[in-house]
Structure 1
Amino acid sequence: MYKLMGNKRLLVLMVSLILFFVLFGLTLSREKITGPEKFLRDTVAWTQSLFNRPARFVADVVQDIRDIRTLYAENKTLRLTLTQYARDTMKLNELEAQNLRLKDLLGFTEKQKAANNYKYHPAEVTAYSSDPYSKVITVNVGARDGVKKDMAVISIDGLVGRVMDTADFTSNVQLLTAIDSVKATDSASDKAETSAPTKAISATVKGKESDSFGVVSYDPDSGLLVMSKISPSDPIAKGDTIITSGIGGVFPKGIVIGSVLSKEVDKLGINYIAYVQPAADFIHLREVLIVEIPE
């Protein structure tokens, strides 16, 4: 009995397969399809489109998220690269500017060595005093480098100031603008110029060293240097270059201080004063030279 039932099932399966292939063949061979087939095909297509739209939307959203993450990662990398590029560019510009300054400084020292026997200690300005009234800068050379108190400090343009105090590896430099005209005294006295760093500087005119003399101090009202104690017979004139005279033993002779802008009678009506434009830039100092006079 079980065998008969198994044969029937096999027979039904075979008949079904035959009918399927017959119907499949008839469908392919016919150019026209029936109404039920059209309905079935449209229904299946509509159902597929119904599910396909949300699927595509989800797929697009997922792809957009992936694209956003990719763009975010790329933008982050580009920002880091741009930041590094900007940092490197700034560093390169600074190095190029420093290289030019050092070349000028080297040329200046070689020229000065040929003119005199002074020893120069190159130094880099590392800090400006936070107190605007102290007018002090810090440089990266000190006592270990042979720097001593009251040594003159210059730039390639002219006189900057003098060493106020030293540590082993750094020194504080008092700028020329700290030499207040109110505190100015006759610099012909060695003691006066050596003991107080705010005293005026003895000066003369380049090319007229034998005929011109005065003392230079800073005038905070005009922002200029003032050369005072100029005798009526002094040939100093507008445009002349003011240099250190060497009197007093602190500032070596021949260092450029500035150029004469004008000359007028002093308040007492006896001597003359001259307003002098400083040669050095006291605000943008980067590298300076400390002058050592050989003993």
Structure 2
Amino acid sequence: MFKLFNNKRLFILLITLVTFIVLMGFSLGQRKTLSWPENFLRDTTGFVQKLFYKPAGYVAGFFQDIGTLNELAEENQRLKILAAQYARDKAQFNFIKAKNEQYEKDLQFTKAQKNMYKYEYLISNVVSVTTEPGNNTLVIDLGAKDGIRLNMSVTSIEGLVGVISNVSNFTSTVKLMTMMDINDPNSQPPIAATAVNKEGKTFGMIESYDQQNGMLLMNKIPVGDPIAKDDIIISSGIGGRYPRGVPIGTVEEVKVGQYGFTSTAIIKPAAGFQDWKELFVVYTEERVE
């Protein structure tokens, strides 16, 4: 009886060992599909992982949302500050505007004086470009029929480009700022200029363009003028030929003149004088002298 029991245990052990070896070989072999025990084990494991990972993901997402809410709160605070600043600036602007209108009324400004700094921007397409030495010009598709007149300013999105030098019925020629030369009477007229946030304190005349380094020269800057490197130069509007506030360029360097009475600012043009497709003509009503 004891012997039979031992034989049965040995038989079960052998069957188990053979089954294990077969399963090992079956698992290690190259198969396209998994066996049902492997499928069962993988599905069970995946289900358990899903039970734990999904809540964990919710918890992690919750804390991430809390962090995002903090960022949104800070951004909202900054926007509130900007909105308050805008409200103050708008109120200040409206106040200054009302005072100016009152001054115009009290001083009996003429219509031409009231419209001096009221501009319209007419968009135009560039028809052709001439890059001959001493003749950097381009032609736009606006002319006399559109109200274009000589010496109107032409700008790009970046800044001042040049002036209208010739007008026909349907097209106009633009003389670029790269043609500015103080010694050439046929050159583009000088530009009265100032610096942003230094209006009334900074003044000079942009009279020429240095062909070698591609820089504009702002001359006749008086002694003690606060102009400095990185200042943004704009047209001052003095003289009425050029519109007020048009970007011209950025100061690269300020040099004191030979005798120390004036300075010259080296200005990097804002316009860049690139291959433009569209430009804007600054339109103003014709002034009756």
Offset at residue 261 of structure 1 (A): 0.5
Matches within 5 A, 1:214-293: 214-216=204-206, 217-293=208-284
Q: After superposition, give the CA deviation of every residue in 1:154-187 in whole Å (9 maximum; x if it has no partner).
A: 0010000000011111100000111114448xxx
1:205 paired residue among 195, 198, 202: 195
Structure of larger gyration radius: 1
Q: After superposition, give the CA deviation of every residue in 1:221-277 in whole Å (9 maximum; x if it has no partner).
A: 321001111112100011101001111211011100000001111233321111000
Match of 1:169 in 2: 170
Matches within 5 A, 1:1-295: 117-183=118-184, 197-216=187-206, 217-294=208-285
Offset at residue 119 of structure 1 (A): 1.1
Contact 1:203 1:213 (8 Å CA) reproduced = yes
Give the aligned residue type for 1:165.
N
Contact 2:216 2:267 (8 Å CA) reproduced = yes
Paired with 2:278 and 2:180, the residues of 1 have a C-alpha distance of 21
Give the aligned residue type for 1:139.
I
Contact 2:163 2:188 (8 Å CA) reproduced = no
Contact 1:153 1:291 (8 Å CA) reproduced = yes
Q: Any gaps of 5 or more consecutive residues in structure 1?
A: 1-114, 185-195
Q: After superposition, give the CA deviation of every residue in 1:26-52 in whole Å (9 maximum; x if it has no partner).
A: xxxxxxxxxxxxxxxxxxxxxxxxxxx
Contact 1:181 1:226 (8 Å CA) reproduced = no
SS for the counterpart of 1:135 is strand
Paired with 2:269 and 2:136, the residues of 1 have a C-alpha distance of 15
Paired with 2:170 and 2:181, the residues of 1 have a C-alpha distance of 29
Offset at residue 133 of structure 1 (A): 1.4
Paired with 1:123 and 1:256, the residues of 2 have a C-alpha distance of 19
SS for the counterpart of 2:225 is coil
- TM-score w.r.t. structure 1 length? 0.55
Paired with 2:280 and 2:135, the residues of 1 have a C-alpha distance of 21
Contact 1:150 1:197 (8 Å CA) reproduced = no
Paired with 1:238 and 1:273, the residues of 2 have a C-alpha distance of 12
Paired with 2:147 and 2:258, the residues of 1 have a C-alpha distance of 43
Paired with 1:236 and 1:229, the residues of 2 have a C-alpha distance of 12
SS for the counterpart of 2:260 is coil
Q: Which has the higher helix share?
A: 1
Residue 238 and residue 289 in structure 1: after superposition, are their counterparts in 2 closer, same or farther (change >3 A)?
same
Match of 2:64 in 1: none
Task: Give the count of matched residue pairs.
Answer: 170
Paired with 2:228 and 2:168, the residues of 1 have a C-alpha distance of 42
Contact 2:181 2:187 (8 Å CA) reproduced = no
Identity %: 39
Offset at residue 281 of structure 1 (A): 2.2
Q: After superposition, give the CA deviation of every residue in 1:177-198 in whole Å (9 maximum; x if it has no partner).
A: 11114448xxxxxxxxxxx553
Residue 137 and residue 244 in structure 1: after superposition, are their counterparts in 2 closer, same or farther (change >3 A)?
same
Residue 130 and residue 239 in structure 1: after superposition, are their counterparts in 2 closer, same or farther (change >3 A)?
closer
Paired with 1:200 and 1:183, the residues of 2 have a C-alpha distance of 11
Paired with 1:199 and 1:117, the residues of 2 have a C-alpha distance of 21
SS for the counterpart of 2:178 is helix
Paired with 2:120 and 2:188, the residues of 1 have a C-alpha distance of 24
SS for the counterpart of 1:251 is coil
User: RMSD between aligned alpha carbons?
Assistant: 1.9
